[in-house]
Structure 1
Amino acid sequence: MARAEVTPARRADARQNIEKILGAAVACLGRKPDASVNEIAQAAGVGRMTLYGHFATREALVEAALRRVLEDGDAVLEDLDLDGDPPAALRALIESSWLLIAQASAVLEAAQATLPPERIRELHAKPELRVHDLIRRGQAEGAFRDDLPVEWLAGVLFHLMKGAAADVVRNRLDPADAPRYLAETVLAAYAGPRAGV
């Protein structure tokens, strides 16, 4: 009987530890892509053995951290209506998810040094497709420039978000201003020569 009572408590502790480790991994890798397992364990408030009990290798931990930030970003995108006017949809996407996407980009740097490229492409496929579909629709409707490839335009969006996040960390940008600055900059870049830019 005592054994049945201990098992759920252990499972709850294990879940808590996993959440703490993943949160610390996302934060540490977001600041420093080559953060060590020791640094992540310290930030999580757990020992190395506890961390390795859940994630056998640094590679497994980096993949789990990347998956976490992508899932968080995807959850935000799923709740957004991206079917309306493409510039309005793009503005809504930026305003609601810029920080999560920027954080995913920072963790992506760690993943690129650790995981095989095909695995990274697999993990990015779903969120990337949403952004690419929005850009393609904007191009088809004449709202976005079509003289540059979709992949390039999406890359511009992601790089600007990452830069904005870095500026926020360095206190060069007020986080309250970032979504508006990003939306105005990206929409101007996407308008291109068709809109007289």
Structure 2
Amino acid sequence: MAQTDPNTQTGPNSARRADARMNAAAIVDAATRLLARDPDASLADIAREAGVGRVTLYGHFDSRATLIAAVVDAAMARAETELSDVDLDGDSVEVMRRLLGASWRLTHRHGALVQAAEKSLGSEDLHEAHLEPIARMRTLLERGRGAGRFRDDMPLTWQITTIQDILHGASRAVYRGEHTPDAAGELIETTVLAVLSPPTVE
């Protein structure tokens, strides 16, 4: 008697699992949209946006922090796809300009989600979500420091932290209406490159 591949089974259970996956995806998508506009969007608002009840939402995500963690994971996965397309060849300063530009476009696109994540997730969780971008930035900084293009008289980890804080701070400033996205992008580049420039020898 032929056996049925469990991965291709159909029937009520399979349909319920498919519905559950669709609901979870709809909730994450709805949360991404709402939190990008309002970091304090409620779970009730997110459930309504996703077209599900609160019971269904809590069936997938038992807390606001759990949902925001899933949203951040999904956003970072999409961001990593785009960041991996940045050309990392050439002069370290010019590569940094390109990487900062791409990083800012992605950060701004997610809008107030940055603030929502900072409010709901611990620093370790946020760091974990940024491991791939951090690794890319670390490689570039090491190359630039070795070539004398970036200063090496401070810890590399401090430089990475500073760059992340500048990007996230810019997102908060734009959300508050203090700067336009374009102006913030220029300020990010100017500030980061100033921080990284080797000290002048007198």
Normalising to structure 1: TM-score of the pair? Answer: 0.76
2:151 counterpart SS class: coil
1:106 corresponds to 2:115: yes
* Partners of 1:30 and 1:159 in 2: CA distance: 18
1:158 and 2:164 are equivalent in the alignment: yes
Amino acid at match of 2:104: W
- Counterpart-to-counterpart distance in 1, 2:33 and 2:198: 36
2:131 equivalent in structure 1: 125
Structure 1 or 2, whichever has the larger Rg, is: 2
Return the structure number with greater helix share: 1
User: Contact 2:31/2:46 (CA < 8 Å) preserved in 1?
Assistant: yes
Identity of paired residues, percent?
Answer: 38
Cα offset for 1:56?
Answer: 3.8
RMSD: 3.1
Residue 62 of structure 1 pairs with residue 68 of structure 2? yes
Unaligned runs of 5+ in 2: 1-9
Question: Take 1:144 and 1:105, find their aligned partners in 2: how far apart are those partners?
Answer: 28
* Aligned counterparts, 1:74-153, within 5 A: 74-101=80-107, 103=110, 105-113=114-122, 119-153=125-159
Instruction: Report the residue type matching 1:79 in the other structure.
Output: D
Q: How many residues align?
A: 190
Q: Is the 8 A contact 2:64 2:120 kept in 1?
A: no
- 1:101, 1:162 within 8 Å by CA — same for their partners in 2? yes
Normalized against structure 2, the TM-score is what? 0.75
- Say which is worse superposed, 55-64 or 73-82, in terms of deviation: 55-64
Task: Tell me which residue corresponds to 1:186.
Answer: 192
Tell me if structure 2 keeps the 8 A contact 1:21–1:40: yes
Residue 99 of structure 1, CA deviation? 3.8
2:7 is aligned to: none
Moved more, 123-132 or 137-146: 123-132
Distance 1:194 1:31, change over 3 A: farther
AA paired with 1:190?
A: L
Match of 1:152, SS state, is helix
